[in-house]
Structure 1
Amino acid sequence: MNTRQTGNVYEQMAADYLEKQGMRILERNFRRGRNGEIDIIGRDGKYLVFVEVKYRSGDEKGNAAEAVTTAKQRTICRVADYYRYLHHYGEDTWVRYDVVAIQGETLHWIPNAFPHHYSARS
């Protein structure tokens, strides 16, 4: 399996898990051209949720959740802002950024994993 296929398998695992927890999946692999991608977008109660999925086969490459760097968080926030603009979600929309970290066969969902990063760039 190549990297993209592996990613798809674990993103599907994460989406299935989130749906079982009550989240409604709206989109997967939402892209803003070459400016970034959000793995899963969903609704969880009043929240519009942007989810980053990270997988590590073991501990040798570090913790999966820690792989969501500040730079990656900023990218996710920029793409999320674009998604909200495209779909006419106003400033009053409750937004949350979650991470689903899969380490080996263990899945860990981290709601509200990081805050919104504001940027002058769009």
Structure 2
Amino acid sequence: MGRHGENVAARRLTEAGMTVLARNWRSGRAGEIDIVARDGDILVICEVKTRRGGRYQHPMASVTPRKAHRLRDLAERWIQTHGGAPPGGVRIDLVGVVLPARGAARVEHARGVA
């Protein structure tokens, strides 16, 4: 389910004009960035949360202050590993994917969440 949600999210970001640079980038024990993308001259660190419709909390509610801190740390690690911050800076986005029992996935993209 998570992989499917990430595929849906990557497709949505691409349709919005972004370029996906990496998926599931790991930084040791610090964790993983689901999608790293570029939006013009902005580096976008994207967390993807996928849920089945009606069963659990909305995916957008899953980014706690602790999770936001971890995402900022991972963004810094990406920048250090890949030669510094781009001219437009860094933004952390959240893509929530809800998979209903029938029909197409519902996708919400929140920019600059952390």
Between 1:79-88 and 1:58-67, the stretch displaced more is: 58-67
Q: Which amino acid aligns with 2:107?
A: L
Residue matched to 1:17: 12
Aligned length: 109
Shift of residue 97, structure 1, vs aligned partner: 0.4
Unmatched 5+ stretches in structure 1: 1-5, 115-122
The residue correspondences of 1:91-110 to structure 2 (distance < 5 A) are 93-104=88-99, 105-110=105-110
The residue correspondences of 1:1-122 to structure 2 (distance < 5 A) are 6-90=1-85, 93-104=88-99, 105-114=105-114
Shift of residue 21, structure 1, vs aligned partner: 0.7
Quick one: distance in 2 between partners of 1:36 and 1:17? 23
SS in 2 for 1:34: helix
Q: Specify whether residues 20 and 92 from structure 1 end up closer, same or farther in structure 2 by C-alpha distance, changes over 3 A only.
A: closer
TM-score by length of 1: 0.83
Q: Stretches of 4+ moved more than 4 A in 1?
A: none
Unmatched 5+ stretches in structure 2: 100-104
Quick one: distance in 1 between partners of 2:4 and 2:59? 16
**Larger RCO, structure (CA 8 Å, separation 6 or more):** 2
Quick one: distance in 2 between partners of 1:97 and 1:18? 13
Aligned residues: CA RMSD: 1.5
SS in 1 for 2:5: helix
Q: Which amino acid aligns with 1:17?
A: R
Q: Specify whether residues 56 and 87 from structure 1 end up closer, same or farther in structure 2 by C-alpha distance, changes over 3 A only.
A: same
Shift of residue 111, structure 1, vs aligned partner: 1.1
